[in-house]
Amino acid sequence: MSKPLSHDSATGHVTGESIYINDMPVNGQLLTGRVVTSCHAHARIIRIDISEALKTAGVHTILTARDIPGENQMGPVIHDELCLAETETTFIGQAIALIAAESEEAAIIAEKLIRIEYEPLESILSIESAMAANNIIAPVRRITRGEVEPALRKAPHRLSGEMRTGAQEHWYLETQTALAIPGEGREMKVFASSQNPAETLAIVAEVLGLQKNEVEVEVKRIGGAFGGKETQGNHVAAWAALLADATRRPVKIHLFRDDDQVMTGKRHRFLSKYEIGFDDQGMILAYKVELNSDAGSATDLSRAILERSMLHAENCYYLPVVSITGQAWKTNLPSNTAFRGFGGPQGMAVIENAIDRIARFVKKDAASIRFLNFYRHEENNVTPYGQKIGNNRLFLLYERLMNSSEYLGRRALVDEFNATNEFYKKGLALMPVKFGISFTTAFLNQAGALVNVYTDGTVLVNHGGTEMGQGLHTKIKQVAASELGISPDRVRVNATNTSKVPNTSPTAASSGSDLNGMAVKNAIDTIKSRLAELARKEDIPADTPFEELCRLAHLNRVSLSATGFYKTPGIYFDRETGQGNPFHYFAYGMAVSEVMIDTLTGSHSLLRSDILQDVGDSINASLDRGQVEGGFIQGVGWCTTEEIKWDSRGNLLTHSPDTYKIPTINDIPADFRIELLPNVPNDGTIRRSKAVGEPPFMLGISVWLAIKDAISAAGNHLSEPALKIPATHEDILLAVNSLPLKQPLL
Amino acid sequence: MSQQTIRFLLDERAVEVGFNDSPELSPTTTLLKYLRSLPGHKGVKEGCAEGDCGACTVVVAESGEDGKLVYKALDSCLVFLPMIHGKQVITVENLAVRKNNQVILHPVQQMLVETNGTQCGYCTPGIVMSLFALYKNHHEPSREVIEDALTGNLCRCTGYQPIVEAALKACTNHGKDQFSDKEKETSDQLSAICRNKSTLTLKTPTHTYLKPFTLAEALSLRGLHPGALVINGATDIAMRQTKSRELLTEILDLSAVDELKTWNAGPDGFIFGAGLSMEQLKKFAAGKLPALYDILSVFGSLQIRNLATLGGNICSASPIGDLLPLFYVLDVGVVLKSAEAERVVPISGFITGYHQTVLQPDELITALTGPRHSVGTLLKTYKISKRKNLDIATVSAAFRLNLNDGMVAGIALAYGGMAETTKRATLTEQYLSGKKWSRVVVENAMKIIESEFSPISDVRSGAEFRKIVARNLLLKFYVETA
């Protein structure tokens, strides 16, 4: 298992031969689907007139809500999200009508001829205004331990404040895409770019008014998802299916980049308020935090995301007395959705910022305050939600990373640099991450597989997980080959298909290989036990080649196909009491980042990042490194240049890469060092590995903390820089300029 | 006789496209759309349709000197088909060699596989093509060169590290590959196409696309078609089609007019042809005009710089044009020609307002002229943007300073992003003239700068940020020159 196998599709990727939905050959019947959307954040729809548009040459149909044969609904958890708006529109970019035409040009001409009459209503476009209007999307949630108010009052020192973290656009390279092909009767096959084919199926069936066994959803590969296609890939699939059902022709929808950015939800922005009590040493005595998220116009996954942010509000720190409150607010913006980290980053950022403040207050290095407050092994090892921390890797990581990154020596160098440079300032920061692995919605922690072995000894693996670049299929292939004792090139992993493995969970929560790997192993165990029994009965020598054994099995009427199933043991969580054991285990990581800022312009450069990540026994170290590097850089983007802005009417201003800035190759650390923590097998998981998809994202916060440290240095660390996430050049410059004790430049 | 079809090499194959026989194609069909309409060419991807993401990157080879081919990475989403007339388009599908049922990957592909430089794979074809151009143009490139070659390729999965590693490992063979083996043959094929210098005249019921090969012909066409959109690299104009869905019915394409691509620098100053690409200009500026080189280093991406031209940049008269502040402090002259006349207008008079110029409907910008500044002239350019590279400036600036015995003998301060056009800080200049170049004086001058501008708040930043940056840049200039 140790030799890193390259990504299963790597050769296809580099030769351009890998097929994405938009590249699929379809017969000459294919129609282009186009989505007509609202231009008002909140308005009554008085009238929709499609009569002129329908006359456009090449247009086959135009659908509005009344044409939906099934239920007009695509809310994944709570049914509060219309597939097509009916009498009211609740955000700019909301789908109102669908066009199927022979060409994109014809569809665009028709779109311009559709007349929609609106009566604008007052809209809510910020968390503050949602709060003022008490516009909640779900009941408030709490996790508490002890009585926080008295504990805060008794603490020798207290700090309180507000922390804002921004929205983030997924910016998957492949925009939302689906191809729907009608079959016999009303059967529908959908090729979707979805992290959750089972849910795509459910929603397509629902809007079409079909039974689930009449719809088939297939996902070959996804051109990037990051959570953005966990629920919102369903939307284009439902729209394409409606058009295909109405025209009885294949229909493809491939969103234009700007439309994708305008129409789809983002990472939830948060406005959080906190109060933290601590002693002279910087030991935390009590922490109170209110996490307020902007859910957008519908629930989508907002409840689970808020829950995860609450479950990560303490990050790696033992909080003896704590109160965590979570509230999701409803606004007239696209419904915000899953994004790598799933609320974790927003929860952690608040306490990391608070600890940064404590360090400045007690005049100690922030890394030492983090260390002081880490969960311990034998005591102080229970989370606010009652789960005991086992196999705590924090001390192992801290010691190793402090050494390998030469933290203390570089701290001295940074101080020296800052003392001798007037306009450039350096900052250094360490950031630990503890990330709970499992869906916090317990029933989702299940997976299925179907393994077919053929008589030539080749193997076709079907499982419920989707391949979106993370290398899941490669890991599954390795697991299957290793469990069967054959070469990986004898194993193929099939496109994910709801007719092969039904009722699956999304590929999300970093759980893809954990769950599906186990399900595949389970199926293979069944086949292996059948083969072993055959060998015993028929006295087949142990050294018989696998293909010969398969041939013999077939001749002896032994089934070479088996399903597999897995459910994560021992996890539960009571949402009412905020207590339970929601996670199978924790994945740990730690990063040290060093930046330099220009106090005259607010620009920054990322000089070095050292990352140490705990992935258990890695199934594929090369793929795991890829997740660490990629996740970290995405986190850096969230913390620095990725800023989303709307105007006062709710129009997205940052609707293309012209104005929305994800990291380029120039934005990665000049010196970028990744290490996977060695010799830490994780019992009870597939090949004793750990999940790695999301945890490294939050290590990107180390860069934000380092920027804050550099700003602080501009004021000789005497005052607290005011900084939000992301810290853009504008934020950095304004923070520098508002340092009260800084010598004014003029 | 004008030519009514375009001819080019697609990978190895000679292709001729006429626009009247295919309803699917028009002269403004982009290279991206065209390629994706062909069987076996779905590798090239659209990620943004504005030249920001590079998923559509292809490499175009054209004849250079001595039968050598010049390889350039371009964003195919911004290239109109007639722009590739007489060139070879190399796509991701054609890099690997197929021999006896075996696929031998190109070194850049092989290394990308080995370093796991692909995850979701959607950006990969573009990355591969940028790496291929890098491979052809650089032997053992530095990290800086690698980063520059890949600035225009966004990847959301990998964090780029394995891609840098692949570039370092792959580009070690002096650009040798199957293409170098056939260089002479390819070059001859392209030269044969380019021998015909009669204007490409592509007319369809909806479009007129004119591509002349000489300046005289271009000027004559400009007179005959005053309503035609003049393009060269089309990086800005193409977006009116790809993003605003505008129908561009009449186009005059100057990209084949070689007379516009000359430059000269002598004792009297410099003259740059308006058709020079930003990348050509950058190469020229290296070592000779560091301030120009610096600003071009953060100008778009290599794919954009390979297309965008000097003339187009000036003509768009954008308040945030990267080069304009420098041209303002250099007091460059814009050479305007019509079939009948020629005039030279100072840049500050050429641009009259937000995207407004004095260019007449029968005129073309042919060149930019600049005086030679004395040896002691200090010249600096700055670009402040949210993201360091491949971003539009929030504020930009160029400063020129001549000191005489520590006293300011000559000074010019020009800012972009602070007003509706690029603007000189004339009051500040007046204040500084004749004064001692000292921190105290500069700090006083910073207050004047603040009073000279009333910048707006927009998506890129608030007005306050722009104001602070504008004055701080003067201090930065002082610190760097004192």
Å from A182 to nearest chain B CA?
Answer: 24
- What's the pLDDT tens digit per position in A489-530? 999 999 999 999 999 999 999 999 999 999 999 999 999 999
**Window 607-626 of A, Cβ < 8 Å to B:** 622-623, 625-626
Amino acid letter, residue A26: V
3-state secondary structure of A374: strand
**Tokens 């020079």 belong to which residue?**
B276
The tokens describing A730, both together, are 């504008």
pLDDT of residue A741: 56
- What's the pLDDT tens digit per position in B290-335? 999 999 999 999 999 999 999 999 999 999 999 999 999 999 999 9
The tokens describing A17, both together, are 């031969």
Decide if B49 and A12 are in contact by the 8 Å CB cutoff. no
Residues of chain B with Cβ-Cβ distance to A746 below 8 Å are: 443, 446-447, 471
Angle at the Cα of A206 from the Cα atoms of A205 and A207, rounded to 5 degrees: 95
Residues of chain B with Cβ-Cβ distance to A233 below 8 Å are: none
**Tokens 């610190």 belong to which residue?**
B479
- Report pTM: 0.98
Alpha carbons within 13 angstroms on the beta-carbon side of residue A613 total: 31
Å from A648 to nearest chain B CA?
Answer: 12
CA distances to A224, A661, B126, B301 from A668, in Å: 19, 14, 19, 17
Residues 6+ apart with CB under 8 A from A183: A189
Distance of alpha carbon A644 from alpha carbon A642, whole angstroms = 7
Distance of alpha carbon A229 from alpha carbon A177, whole angstroms = 10
Give the model's confidence band at A646: pLDDT under 50 very low, under 70 low, under 90 confident, else very high.
Answer: very high
pLDDT of residue A746: 38
* Average pLDDT over every residue of A629-644: 98
Å from B136 to nearest chain A CA?
Answer: 17
Asked if residues A487 and A547 have their Cβ atoms less than 8 Å apart, the reply is no
B239 φ, ψ (degrees, to nearest 5) = -65, -25
Residues 6+ apart with CB under 8 A from A13: A7, B112, B118, B121, B124, B125
Decide if B120 and A668 are in contact by the 8 Å CB cutoff. no
Nearest to A224 among B120, B387, B446 (CB): B120
- What's the pLDDT tens digit per position in B36-65? 999 999 999 999 999 999 999 999 999 988
Nearest to B112 among A14, A172, A226 (CB): A14
Q: In terms of Cα–Cα distance, which of A429, A726, A471 is closest to A594?
A: A429
Chain centroid, CA A184 distance in Å:
37
Chain centroid, CA A216 distance in Å:
25
A222 interface with B at CB cutoff 8 Å:
yes
Asked if residues A401 and A430 have their Cβ atoms less than 8 Å apart, the reply is yes
- In sequence order, what are the beta bridge partners of A492? A460
Largest CA-CA distance found in chain B, in angstroms, rounded: 77
Give the model's confidence band at B184: pLDDT under 50 very low, under 70 low, under 90 confident, else very high.
Answer: very high
pLDDT at residue A742 greater than cutoff 60: no
Give the model's confidence band at A392: pLDDT under 50 very low, under 70 low, under 90 confident, else very high.
Answer: very high
pLDDT of residue B288: 87
Residues of chain B with Cβ-Cβ distance to A666 below 8 Å are: 147, 151, 388-389
The tokens describing A103, both together, are 């060409």
pLDDT at residue A3 greater than cutoff 70: no
pLDDT at residue A81 greater than cutoff 50: yes
- In sequence order, what are the beta bridge partners of B58? B74
CA distances to A48, A473, A533, A545, B334 from A525, in Å: 58, 19, 12, 18, 78
Decide if A746 and B446 are in contact by the 8 Å CB cutoff. yes
Alpha carbons within 13 angstroms on the beta-carbon side of residue A366 total: 25
HEC string for A435-484: EEECCCCHHHCEEEEEEEECCCCCEEEEECCCCCCCCHHHHHHHHHHHHH
**H-only helix segments in B195-346:** 215-224, 237-242, 278-285, 290-297, 302-307, 310-315, 324-329
Distance of alpha carbon A60 from alpha carbon A249, whole angstroms = 10
Euclidean distance between the first and the last CA atom of chain A, given in angstroms as a whole number: 63
Largest CA-CA distance found in chain A, in angstroms, rounded: 93
Domains of chain B: 5-94+181-253 (3.10.20.30), 107-176 (1.10.150.120), 258-481 (3.30.465.10)
The tokens describing A600, both together, are 């005259």
- In sequence order, what are the beta bridge partners of A287? A276, A322
- What's the pLDDT tens digit per position in A674-686? 999 999 999 999 9
Decide if B162 and A728 are in contact by the 8 Å CB cutoff. no
3-state secondary structure of A496: strand
Distance of alpha carbon A154 from alpha carbon A262, whole angstroms = 48
DSSP tally for chain A: helices H, then strands E: 20, 26
pLDDT of residue A335: 98
Asked if residues A339 and A170 have their Cβ atoms less than 8 Å apart, the reply is yes
Strands A251-254 and A31-37, by their bridges, are parallel
pLDDT at residue B1 greater than cutoff 80: no
Decide if A470 and B119 are in contact by the 8 Å CB cutoff. yes
Decide if B156 and A173 are in contact by the 8 Å CB cutoff. yes
Chain centroid, CA B229 distance in Å:
18
Decide if A601 and B472 are in contact by the 8 Å CB cutoff. yes
* Average pLDDT over every residue of A318-344: 98
Angle at the Cα of B82 from the Cα atoms of B78 and B84, rounded to 5 degrees: 75
Nearest to A23 among B42, B47, B113 (CB): B42
Q: In terms of Cα–Cα distance, which of A291, A287, A171, A165 is closest to A229?
A: A171
- SS percent in chain A: helix, strand, coil, step 5: 35, 25, 40
Amino acid letter, residue B2: S
Asked if residues B129 and B303 have their Cβ atoms less than 8 Å apart, the reply is no
Asked if residues A583 and A436 have their Cβ atoms less than 8 Å apart, the reply is yes
Decide if B118 and A633 are in contact by the 8 Å CB cutoff. no
What amino acid positions of A are annotated as catalytic residues?
A: 694
Q: Which long-range contacts (CB under 8 A, 24 or more apart) does A555-559 make?
A: A558/A530, A558/A531, A558/A533, A558/A534, A559/A527, A559/A530
Give the model's confidence band at A745: pLDDT under 50 very low, under 70 low, under 90 confident, else very high.
Answer: very low
Alpha carbons within 13 angstroms on the beta-carbon side of residue A394 total: 25
- In sequence order, what are the beta bridge partners of B379? B400
Alpha carbons within 13 angstroms on the beta-carbon side of residue B192 total: 11
Residues of chain A with Cβ-Cβ distance to B89 below 8 Å are: none
Distance of alpha carbon A700 from alpha carbon A462, whole angstroms = 34
Asked if residues B464 and B473 have their Cβ atoms less than 8 Å apart, the reply is no
Distance of alpha carbon A568 from alpha carbon A583, whole angstroms = 9
Amino acid letter, residue B365: I
Q: In terms of Cα–Cα distance, which of B396, B309, B88 is closest to A601?
A: B396
Nearest to B154 among A601, A630, A657 (CB): A657
Asked if residues B369 and B333 have their Cβ atoms less than 8 Å apart, the reply is yes
The tokens describing A408, both together, are 């203390």
* Average pLDDT over every residue of A50-61: 98
Size of interface A-B (CB pairs under 8 A): 245
Out of A349-353, B153-157, B375-379, least confident range: B375-379
A65 interface with B at CB cutoff 8 Å:
no
pLDDT of residue B287: 86
Nearest to B121 among A18, A634, A661 (CB): A18
pLDDT of residue B331: 94
User: Is the pLDDT higher at A746 or at A199?
Assistant: A199
Distance of alpha carbon A356 from alpha carbon A705, whole angstroms = 8
**Tokens 């070690």 belong to which residue?**
B172
Question: What is the chain A residue with the closest CA to B145?
Answer: A666
Is the omega angle on the peptide bond into residue A726 within 30 degrees of 0, that is, cis?
A: yes
- What's the pLDDT tens digit per position in B123-166? 999 999 999 999 999 999 999 999 999 999 999 999 999 999 99
Which burial class, exposed, middle or buried, applies to A530 when counting CB atoms under 10 A from its CB (0-12, 13-18, 19+)? Answer: middle
Chain centroid, CA A231 distance in Å:
11
pLDDT of residue A605: 98
HEC string for A35-52: EEECCCCCEEEEEEECHH
Distance of alpha carbon B392 from alpha carbon B472, whole angstroms = 19
pLDDT at residue B273 greater than cutoff 90: yes
Decide if A174 and B122 are in contact by the 8 Å CB cutoff. yes
pLDDT at residue B197 greater than cutoff 50: yes
Domains of chain A: 31-122+176-254 (3.90.1170.50), 270-439+577-737 (3.30.365.10), 446-567 (3.30.365.10)
